[in-house]
Amino acid sequence: MTHFAIETKDLSRIYKIRGNKKEKQIRKELVALENVNLTVERGELFGLLGPNGAGKTTLIKILTTLLAPTSGWARVAGYDVTQHPNLVRPRINMVSGGESSGYGLLTVRENLWMFSQFYGMPSKEANQRIVELLKMVGLEDRIHTKSSDLSTGLRQKMNIVRGFLTDPEVLFLDEPTLGLDVGAARDVRKLIRTWVDTSPLPSGEGKGEGRRTLLLTTHYMVEAEELCDRVAIINKGRVLACDTPANLKRNLQRDAIFEIETSPLNGLTSQILQDQPEVKKAALTDIEGGARLELILKEEAALASVINILTQKEIKVKRLTKREPTLEDVFMDLVGQKMEEVEKEEAPHAG
Amino acid sequence: MNRSETTRSFTMATWLGWQVESNWTDPFLFAIYVIIKPLASAAILVVMYSIITGGAYESPLFPYIYLGNAFYTYVGAVMAGVSWAVIDDREHYKTLKYMYIAPINIPFYWLGRGVSRFLIGTVAVIVILTAGVLFLNVPLDLTQVNWGLFIVSLLLGVTMLAMMGLILASITLMVAHHFFLIGEAVAGALYLFSGAIFPLEVLPAWLRPIGYAMPITYWLELMRRSLIGDVAQAFPTLAQYSNLQLLGILLGLTVIFAVASVFTFRWCDYRARELGLIDRVSNY
Ligand SMILES: Nc1ncnc2c1ncn2[C@@H]1O[C@H](COP(=O)(O)OP(=O)(O)O)[C@@H](O)[C@H]1O
Ligand SMILES: [Mg+2]
């Protein structure tokens, strides 16, 4: 048995999409994942960061035995997900955010208790743990509420508790804070961090058997940056980089990152800026009364040429700040676009 | 097969199925659903019968039809009960994927989800039979009933229906869209081919083989024979078979359906994961 919690090798998934009635013959293929190679150690809180449509959910579905890969393989908790789903399932759990699943006619306690029973937990232990977990997310006063009477946010919290309830070896959370308000998202993040850190083993045992592992997906940069031990950046089905947030940003440390607020752009495009030899990446966003430029420059001196271009185009600089790199910049550096821009492009295709 | 896994899958699913099924805010409405609905459907049949035959309740055809229809309740209840769980969990509660990744035995989970409809169906059958005896002179005498045959046939028949339900549930996994009533639809179609309300001889010769291949046909005959004796004499369909032979045929067909259900489930489960159908939700 390997010591990895999750291991994938050249994992790919292609969706075959049947055309609509008119064009039945046309069968499109959509590559949702392409040769994904990842290893997650036991005890890690691992983040998959990528825009909508990047393939995050597809990867989680494969890892949780819901979807077969088209090629390649994946092991979770030491077992191949295709060959031994029955050995994987007792060791994992999964929650998708942004959906309100659950049996509305059951109370919060009943919903959770039922799932604990499907996992073979002793009833008394389950009930204790339900109360503990509900307290941790601030839902304990709703324990006897029918789940249909909960708001979507509270229902989502209930589902997140369901994931932690069975204390799996590997827990998968697909966009756990999607759609939650700020406070609820904070509660959930805290629960996530606490659960991974309070290993059933005595502290100081290092990363190995018995340590809890959690993989979450997110398209919130801050969530990945602040919460995760390691982050894989994924776009269009491919893992572009995988490291600790600090290391990912380190590659940009020698670059200079500027944010400039300007008057309207008068036809300036990011391409014009990127044609400058010292400008690595440039992103332009329209904001009220003007625009925002985000620049990754090979060195600070290159700022002069950018200002030059702005002056030629009669664009006024309203504010200029230099800042430390964030994962957003890492993404822009890797993909050439900001994550929002990628999502805007994808949006018309999203089904 | 892990025994505790199958046990907890079945028992918890039974619990859940009962919560879902008995989720009536008003117990009075629930009683109506359980009692009035089956009576109403039996009444329609009786009215039709009396119009067609001019009220020949003494004819052996009447108990034949009445009992056939009464026990046919189980066909819809068990088949729809088991297969409905797939649609309900996937489309309505959005929990099918969570059930799927849990360490449970999915076929046993589905069977468990069907138990509550089976129990409600049992109440319906008792209500219909009682009404028949009290008001329509259905010649059912509890002292004359062949209880041994009745119990064995009932158990075997329900097992057979559960296996057919599993096959439907597996197929439902594959064909999410608009197959809401697959259980009822199949039950409705088989109503005409299984000798429930008329002997197979009434069917055109080329349709009869469907009836002879259906275990339901033999089961209904066994239920009638065990309750009111040899009604078969009036109708030649299965007259040449003894009770034991009928039981043998039913057992054989049940085993065939059980094996078929295992393979159907395995194949549909495999295909559903290939195609990504387990958490697919129809866009209505
Ligand atoms: N069942 C499906 N059939 C066809 N295409 C799909 C299906 N599920 C997802 N996709 C497509 O695969 C790509 C990846 O989707 P997904 O894994 O959901 O991404 P993410 O979770 O990162 O937003 C998207 O382009 C999406 O439209
Ligand atoms: Mg997703």
For A16, the token pair is 């075959």
What is the bridge-based pairing of β-strands A279-287 and A290-297? antiparallel
Q: At what angle do helices A108-118 and B3-21 cross, to 10 degrees?
A: 160
In chain B, which residues have their Cβ closer than 8 Å to the Cβ of A148? none
On whether the pTM is more than 0.80, the answer is: yes
Answer whether residue B284 is part of any domain.
no
Label residue B29 exposed, middle or buried (CB < 10 Å: 0-12, 13-18, 19+): exposed
Instruction: Give pairs for A270-273: CB < 8 Å, separation 24+.
Output: A272/A309, A273/A306, A273/A309
- Comparing CA positions, the residue from A262, A305, A251, A258 lying closest to residue A281 is A258
For A11, the token pair is 């994992």
- In chain B, the number of structural domains is 1
CB A229 within 8 A of CB A44: yes
- How far is Cα A49 from Cα A239, in angstroms, rounded to an integer? 9
CB A47 within 8 A of CB A232: yes
A61 contacts B279? CB cut-off 8 A: yes
Instruction: For residue B269, give how far its alpha carbon lies from the nearest alpha carbon of chain A (Å).
Output: 10
* Strand ranges (E), chain A: 4-18, 27-41, 45-49, 71-76, 79-80, 92-96, 170-174, 213-218, 230-235, 238-243, 256-262, 279-287, 290-297, 317-323
**In chain B, pLDDT over 70 holds for what percent of residues?**
94
Answer whether residue B42 is part of any domain.
yes
- How far is Cα A183 from Cα A318, in angstroms, rounded to an integer? 34
Answer whether residue B27 is part of any domain.
yes
Range(s) of chain A covered by CATH 3.40.50.300 = 4-103+115-120+150-245
Residue whose Cα lies nearest atom 1 of ligand 1: it is B276
The mean per-residue pLDDT over the stretch A306-317 comes to: 91
Residue-range definition of the domain harbouring residue B255:
3-275
pLDDT in tens, A204-233: 455 556 789 999 999 998 899 999 999 999
pLDDT in tens, A18-55: 766 666 666 789 999 999 999 999 999 999 999 999 99
Chain A residue with minimum CA distance to B106? A118
The mean per-residue pLDDT over the stretch B99-111 comes to: 97
> Which residues 6+ apart lie within 8 Å of B10 measured at CB?
B105, B108, B109, B111, B112
| Residue B222: per-residue pLDDT | 94
Q: How confident is the model at residue B153 (pLDDT cuts 50, 70, 90)?
A: very high
The distance in angstroms from the start CA to the end CA of chain B is 38
pLDDT in tens, A75-131: 999 999 999 999 999 999 999 998 889 999 999 999 999 999 999 999 999 999 999
For A143, the token pair is 């324990």
| Residue B264: per-residue pLDDT | 97
- How far is Cα B81 from Cα B101, in angstroms, rounded to an integer? 22
Answer whether residue B283 is part of any domain.
no
Chain A residue with minimum CA distance to B2? A86
B50 or B182, higher pLDDT: B50
- How far is Cα A35 from Cα B24, in angstroms, rounded to an integer? 51
CATH architecture of the region A256-323: 2-Layer Sandwich (3.30)
- How far is Cα A180 from Cα A337, in angstroms, rounded to an integer? 26
- How far is Cα B267 from Cα A205, in angstroms, rounded to an integer? 44
A140 or B229, higher pLDDT: A140
Chain B residue with minimum CA distance to A113? B12
The mean per-residue pLDDT over the stretch A257-273 comes to: 90
CB contacts < 8 A (A, B)? 73
Q: How confident is the model at residue B235 (pLDDT cuts 50, 70, 90)?
A: confident
- Does position A351 have pLDDT exceeding 60, yes or no? no
- Does position A203 have pLDDT exceeding 70, yes or no? no
What is the bridge-based pairing of β-strands A45-49 and A27-41? unpaired
The mean per-residue pLDDT over the stretch A54-65 comes to: 97
Q: Which homologous superfamily does the CATH classification assign to the domain defined by A4-103+115-120+150-245?
A: P-loop containing nucleotide triphosphate hydrolases (3.40.50.300)
Phi, psi (degrees; rounded to nearest 5) at B122: -65, -45
According to DSSP, the residues that pair with A139 across neighbouring strands are: none
B276 contacts A67? CB cut-off 8 A: yes
B104 contacts A118? CB cut-off 8 A: yes
- Does position B2 have pLDDT exceeding 50, yes or no? yes
In chain A, which residues have their Cβ closer than 8 Å to the Cβ of B269? none
Answer whether residue B281 is part of any domain.
no
- Does position B62 have pLDDT exceeding 70, yes or no? yes
